[in-house]
C-alpha cells in the first residue's frame, strides 16, 4: 500500500497512467469511435467514400465525416489512428511480455546453475546482442514467409500466420530477450549467496522452489521496469520497420509511409498537409512517452535504493 501511495505521489506517474489509460480506452472503444465495414474482421484501414474530382492520390483536408482528413489513396486518417491504437497495444504487450518471460527464465536458470552452464549462456547472449535486429527482420521475411503471396505456405508458415506472428514480431522476440538475461542473471548470482537462500536450501527446499519463491521475487524488479520501457519501444520500432518497408504491419507506420511525399508541401510548407503526418507522429511519440514514464515510475518504487521524492 505504501508503494502504491508513493507511486501516485509523483505527477509524472499520474501522467503516465493517464496517457496509457487514454490509449487503452481508445483501443477498447474503437468499434464505436470508428465503426468498421466488417465488424467480425475489422481492418485497420478504410477507404473514405468522397465525391470529389480531385485525384485519389492527393490527401484531402479534414471535413465533416473525416475529422483528420485522408492520406494518399483516400485512407481515412482518423480511422487508422483509432484502430492502430489497438494494434499497437496488442503488439507492444505481446512482444515485451514474451521476451521478458524468455529472458527472465533463461537468466534465472543459468545464474542458479552457475559454472559452465552460466558461462555458455552468457556467451550465447553476447552472440545474439551482436546480431543487428534489422538484418534479422529482413532474413525472416525472406526465409519464413513466401515471397509470392500466391505460393503455397509451408507448415511453419501456416503456423506463424495462424498465430498472427509477422517477421518483425518474430525478430523482436528472438533478439530482445538478452537484456533480461543479463539483468536477472546478475541479480540472482548475488542473491543465491545470501543467508535466507542458504537457510532455505539447508531445510530441504528444492531447486524450483528456491528459484520461484526466494530468488525471482527479489530479482525481478529491474525486469518489470524494462518491460514497461519495451512496450513503447517495440511499437516505435515496428512503425520504423514498416516505414522503411521491411515487412512489418504497423498501421501507424503504413500511414506515415503513404504520406511521406506530402510531408513537405509546395514551397517547403510543412503545415499545408499537416494531417498526413502530424496526428500519427504525435500518437507514436506520446505512446512511447507514456510507457517510458511508467517505467521510470516503477523504477522509483521498486528500487529501494532510488530516490522517492515527491514532485508536487
Interval 290-308 mean pLDDT:
75
Residue 294: give the domain boundaries: 2-34+66-113+176-302
Between CA 138 and CA 161 the distance in angstroms is: 17
Question: Alpha helices of the chain — where are they, by DSSP H?
Answer: 2-7, 11-28, 30-33, 77-113, 115-129, 133-143, 155-162, 167-174, 178-191, 195-202, 207-209, 216-219, 221-244, 251-258, 274-302
Interval 207-234 mean pLDDT:
87
Q: Is the dihedral of CA 205, 209, 213, 218 positive or negative?
A: positive
Confidence of residue 148 (pLDDT cuts 50, 70, 90): low
What's residue 135's pLDDT? 82
What's residue 158's pLDDT? 75
Is 57 part of any domain? no
What's residue 220's pLDDT? 86
Is 227 part of any domain? yes
What's residue 231's pLDDT? 94
Structural domain count of the chain: 1
Is 259 part of any domain? yes
Q: Quick: pLDDT tens for 247-280.
A: 778 999 999 998 888 888 777 777 888 899 999 9
* Crossing angle between the packed helical segments 77-113 and 115-129, to the nearest 10 degrees: 150
Task: Please state the φ and ψ torsions of residue 119, each to the nearest 5 degrees.
Answer: -65, -45
Is 239 part of any domain? yes
Is 157 part of any domain? no
Is 132 part of any domain? no
Q: Quick: pLDDT tens for 43-80.
A: 888 888 776 666 777 888 888 888 998 888 888 999 99
Confidence of residue 309 (pLDDT cuts 50, 70, 90): very low
Is 72 part of any domain? yes
Q: Quick: pLDDT tens for 127-144.
A: 888 888 888 887 877 777
Distances 157 to 40, 119, 173, 248, 249 between C-alpha atoms, Å: 24, 34, 17, 16, 16
Interval 19-29 mean pLDDT:
96
Between CA 298 and CA 292 the distance in angstroms is: 10
Interval 281-305 mean pLDDT:
86
Q: Quick: pLDDT tens for 176-200.
A: 899 999 999 988 988 888 887 888 8
DSSP, residue by residue, 115-157: HHHHHHHHHHHHHHHTS-HHHHHHHHHHHSS-SSTTSPPPHHH
- Would you say residue 149 has pLDDT above 80? no
Amino acid at each position: 500500500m505504501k508503494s502504491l501511495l508513493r507511486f501516485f505521489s509523483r505527477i509524472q506517474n499520474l501522467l503516465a497512467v493517464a496517457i496509457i489509460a487514454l490509449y487503452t480506452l481508445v483501443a477498447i472503444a474503437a468499434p464505436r469511435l470508428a465503426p468498421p465495414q466488417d465488424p467480425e474482421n475489422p481492418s485497420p484501414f478504410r477507404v473514405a467514400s468522397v465525391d470529389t474530382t480531385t485525384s485519389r492520390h492527393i490527401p484531402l483536408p479534414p471535413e465533416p465525416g473525416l475529422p483528420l482528413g485522408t492520406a494518399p489513396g483516400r485512407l481515412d486518417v482518423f480511422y487508422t489512428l483509432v484502430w492502430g491504437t489497438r494494434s499497437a497495444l496488442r503488439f507492444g504487450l505481446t512482444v515485451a511480455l514474451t521476451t521478458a518471460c524468455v529472458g527472465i527464465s533463461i537468466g534465472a536458470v543459468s545464474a542458479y546453475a552457475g559454472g559452465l552452464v552460466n558461462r555458455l549462456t552468457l556467451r550465447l547472449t553476447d552472440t545474439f546482442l551482436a546480431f543487428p535486429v534489422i538484418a534479422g527482420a529482413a532474413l525472416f521475411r525472406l526465409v519464413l514467409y513466401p515471397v509470392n503471396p500466391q505460393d503455397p505456405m509451408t507448415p511453419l508458415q501456416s503456423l506463424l500466420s495462424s498465430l498472427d506472428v509477422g517477421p518483425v514480431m518474430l525478430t523482436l522476440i528472438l533478439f530482445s530477450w538478452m537484456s533480461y538475461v543479463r539483468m536477472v542473471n546478475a541479480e540472482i548470482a548475488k542473491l543465491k549467496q545470501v543467508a535466507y537462500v542458504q537457510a532455505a536450501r539447508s531445510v530441504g527446499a528444492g531447486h524450483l522452489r528456491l528459484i520461484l519463491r526466494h530468488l525471482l521475487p527479489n530479482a525481478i524488479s529491474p525486469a518489470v521496469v524494462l518491460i514497461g520501457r519495451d512496450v513503447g519501444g517495440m511499437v516505435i520500432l515496428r512503425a520504423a520497420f514498416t516505414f522503411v518497408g521491411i515487412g512489418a504491419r504497423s498501421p501507424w507506420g503504413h500511414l506515415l509511409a503513404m504520406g511521406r511525399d506530402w510531408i513537405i508541401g509546395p514551397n517547403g510548407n510543412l503545415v499545408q498537409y499537416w494531417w498526413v503526418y502530424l496526428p500519427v507522429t504525435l500518437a507514436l511519440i506520446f505512446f512511447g512517452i507514456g510507457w517510458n514514464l511508467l517505467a521510470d515510475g516503477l523504477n522509483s518504487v521498486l528500487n529501494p535504493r532510488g530516490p522517492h521524492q515527491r514532485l508536487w
